[in-house]
Structure 1
Amino acid sequence: MDDTAPPHLTQPTRLPAGGPNAIGHMLGLLGDEWTLLILQQALQGVTRYGQLKEALPISNSVLTARLRSLSEAQLLERHVYQSNPERAEYLTTPRSRSLWPVMLAIWEWERQWVPEHPAPLPAMHHSVCGHDFAPVVVCRACGKPFEPREVVAEWGPSGSWARSVPQATTRRRWEPEAGHHYPGLFPETMAIFGNRWSSALMGAAFRGVTRFTDFESNLGAPPTLVADRLRSFCAIGVLEPRANPDRPDWAEYGLTPKGRAFYPVIAASIAWAEHWFVSPEGPAVIQHHRTCGEELTAIFTCDQCERPLAGNDVTVVPADDARDRHEGEA
């Protein structure tokens, strides 16, 4: 926690009883493609309006609206650095800086599972051990890596489908299969995480929902929207249609290995949400690790030194530096 930040920026948001829970609020904030892209840029030090406009293919009206909503949500802090004419920059806060595990998980998933990037994603470097690394998700209680199938998840005191689905939907700008690429964009993560209903549907898949009608009823979403999201997920290979030998008239969809590999993003997002949005009834989701039997808190470690990762210890390796290092080792 940043002791230099104003007190109101270091405190979690207390939610009213009976309303949207931590997951619903998290999806309402992060389940938006522009929000994720702006935060990605801000965490890399791009804080001024003109810089953001240059870095992203975004209109003035959308950028202005997102910066306003991010400031209201305490993910960015508006700071006026010039008075005549007025100029402001948008600085990261403890709330946004603590998103680094989410961004780290997204980065690694795209590196491993999305080969169609216009340019290869650069490596990440762990300053503690001095090596380039890949993050490993482990159980904090026992320190062992785990697979999604080893996780038992159930609704907590504030958990339900109705309370976990955000109150509004986000209009999509593009489909990943259309072949468009934008600066700094993680295209397939956006297909899953950059749309509120997509995020909710993916969470349902991890909780064992497979039937079309169950997706529709649990999420309270119209069938055309569910069909669109399922079609998109099958197109990028995170879900696959499966036949039910007993009921061939049932449409079922299961996670693929690529889909299950997205779990670290889900785990990091839930942990962030439960920390910053506190329901009076208690957490939205309770997870247990089958292997050790303890309540699961997912953390990330370095695959080289096996030490827990911290945001300040992780840097992106520029492509030229990585190439020079590789040639030197050869």
Structure 2
Amino acid sequence: MDASAVKEDRTIRACSIWRALDVVGDVPVLLIMEQAFLGTHGFDEFVARTGLARSVVSGRLRKLVDEDCLAKRPKKEGRGSYYALTQKGRDQFPNALMMLRWQHRWEAASRDFRVRLRHSACGAETEPTPICAHCRKEIDPRDVDWREGPGLAQVVPHYERRRFNGAVTARRPGGRPLVDTMIELFGDRWATLVVRAMFTRINRFDDIQRDTLMATNILTGRLERLIRQGILRTIPYSAHADRVEYRLTEKGRDLYPVLLALLQWGDRWFSDERGPPLILTHKPCGHDLRMVVACNHCDGEIGIHNLTFEIE
């Protein structure tokens, strides 16, 4: 085998989801960003509301400042500083809304609280809905085609060790984080890349392993966990019982808007002058797909600037 073949075997697709996960594919980062969207600004507040160790909060806040998702600013009165969302950080809000939407749809019965959202433009209580910006139709992943874009590249992955022991047990006043299951899933880069593979029709173990370059034991563990969570199912593809393909369940397909929000955030903030790595087409209207989050009452776009919330 020549050197170029060896190099190719050690690379993966560097789509914008991969690039976004370099920043947000981490449980403590997602917990801190959730609190930033809820209006938390001070270091001690982040520690109290996430339940994370002070050293972890300090390190992740520094990372988010370095990545220009948060800005550290001096207080106008008194000593000390506070953290404010930048435009890059605010642009992650659609991702947070799609996570919340998924948990409302699939885990409402298992929660002891509910987040009620109100769209200030129309005054109605709303559920965020992912729609095509062109035809205004709700997005179904089965209606989306994709092709390689000018910015697609193959990169040698560097999987940074991000240790976070235990389940998400962060605190908010009166209970758990708002999107704990989603934070656990998308805070695990490996699990997210498995789900990405499913949406690009990569369904067999060896093919997923080649697409992600995950160690086989790590891949086995992530597949087993996603099956237990009801996100994946297996179907045999030969007479041998151990030869199966992995397919998304309906619950798994409903993760698509979260991945799409990650993709669009990565496209906006990490694409170079060549353009996006992937181009999506919405088959019902034939246009390049751009997702917007809409109010299910008035169809108007919703975002951090026109949305209020109550937890009950």
Smaller-chain TM-score bracket: 0.7 to 0.9
Letter in 1 for 2:298: C
Q: Tell me what 1:316 maps to.
A: 309
1:51 equivalenced with 2:6 (yes/no): no
Out of 57, 74, 78, the position equivalent to 1:80 is 74
Q: Tell me what 2:165 maps to.
A: 173
Aligned-partner Cα distance in 1 for 2:272–2:187: 24
Give the drift of 1:67.
0.8
Q: Tell me what 1:217 maps to.
A: 210
Cα deviation 1:228-247 (Å, max 9, x = unaligned): 11111111111112222466
State whether residues 146 and 281 of structure 2, in contact with CA within 8 Å, keep that contact through their aligned partners in structure 1: yes
Aligned-partner Cα distance in 2 for 1:120–1:189: 16
The TM-score with structure 1 as length reference comes to 0.83
Letter in 2 for 1:267: L
Letter in 1 for 2:166: W
Cα deviation 1:34-81 (Å, max 9, x = unaligned): 101101111222111111111111111111110111110001111122
- Residue 129 of structure 2 aligns to a residue in which SS? strand
Letter in 2 for 1:63: V
State whether residues 124 and 315 of structure 1, in contact with CA within 8 Å, keep that contact through their aligned partners in structure 2: yes
- Residue 143 of structure 1 aligns to a residue in which SS? coil
1:306 equivalenced with 2:299 (yes/no): yes
Letter in 2 for 1:62: V
Name the count of aligned residue pairs: 297
- Residue 297 of structure 2 aligns to a residue in which SS? coil
1:69 equivalenced with 2:81 (yes/no): no
Aligned-partner Cα distance in 1 for 2:273–2:195: 26
Structure 1 segment 105-254 matched on structure 2, within 5 A: 105-115=98-108, 117-160=110-153, 162-163=154-155, 167-175=159-167, 182=171, 183-245=176-238, 248-254=241-247
State whether residues 24 and 163 of structure 1, in contact with CA within 8 Å, keep that contact through their aligned partners in structure 2: no
Unaligned runs of 5+ in 2: 1-11
Change (3 A) 1:67 1:175: closer
- Residue 125 of structure 1 aligns to a residue in which SS? strand
1:282 equivalenced with 2:275 (yes/no): yes
Identity of aligned residues (%): 26
State whether residues 76 and 93 of structure 1, in contact with CA within 8 Å, keep that contact through their aligned partners in structure 2: yes
1:258 equivalenced with 2:234 (yes/no): no
Deviation larger for 150-159 or 227-236: 150-159
Letter in 1 for 2:284: T
Q: Tell me what 1:38 maps to.
A: 32
Letter in 1 for 2:291: A
Change (3 A) 1:318 1:249: closer
Give the drift of 1:165.
5.8
Aligned-partner Cα distance in 2 for 1:285–1:302: 27
Unaligned runs of 5+ in 1: 1-17, 320-330
The TM-score with structure 2 as length reference comes to 0.87
Give the drift of 1:249.
4.0
State whether residues 260 and 291 of structure 2, in contact with CA within 8 Å, keep that contact through their aligned partners in structure 1: yes
Give the drift of 1:146.
2.6
Aligned-partner Cα distance in 1 for 2:133–2:196: 22
Change (3 A) 1:108 1:21: closer
Letter in 1 for 2:18: G
Give the drift of 1:219.
0.6
Q: Tell me what 1:326 maps to.
A: none
State whether residues 78 and 90 of structure 1, in contact with CA within 8 Å, keep that contact through their aligned partners in structure 2: yes
Letter in 2 for 1:173: N
